[in-house]
Chains A and B, each alone.
Chain A
Amino acid sequence: GNSVTQMEGPVTLSEEAFLTINCTYTATGYPSLFWYVQYPGEGLQLLLKATKADDKGSNKGFEATYRKETTSFHLEKGSVQVSDSAVYFCALSPSGNTPLVFGKGTRLSVIA
Chain B
Amino acid sequence: GAVVSQHPSWVICKSGTSVKIECRSLDFQATTMFWYRQFPKQSLMLMATSNEGSKATYEQGVEKDKFLINHASLTLSTLTVTSAHPEDSSFYICSARRQGVANEKLFFGSGTQLSVL
Footprint of B on A, CB under 8 Å?
Answer: 4, 8, 32, 34, 36, 38, 41-46, 49, 89, 93, 96-105
Contacts and interface: CB of A to CB of B under 8 A. Distances in A.
A102 B47 CA distance: 12
Contact of A45 (B38, B46, B102, B108): B108
16 contacts: A38-B111, A41-B110, A43-B107, A44-B93, A44-B108, A45-B108, A46-B104, A89-B44, A99-B34, A99-B103, A100-B103, A101-B43, A102-B44, A102-B45, A105-B43, A105-B44
B38, B103, B109, B110 — most chain A CB neighbours (10 Å): B103
Contacts, number: 60
Interface string B21-61: 00000000000001010100111111001000000000000
Given A93-B103, A100-B103, A43 B43 contact: no
Contact of B46 (A42, A43, A46, A99): A99
Interface residues of B, number: 25
A96 B106 CA distance: 11
Nearest to A96: B102
Nearest to A6: B43
A12 to B, nearest CB: 17
A8 B41 CA distance: 8
Given A41-B110, A42-B110, A102-B44, A96 B93 contact: no
B80 to A, nearest CB: 21
B8 to A, nearest CB: 13
Given A43-B108, A44-B108, A97 B102 contact: yes
A33 to B, nearest CB: 10
A44 B41 contact: no
Contacts of B89: none
A103 B36 CA distance: 12
Nearest to A39: B110
Nearest to A40: B110
B103 A96 contact: yes
A103 B104 contact: no
Contacts of B79: none
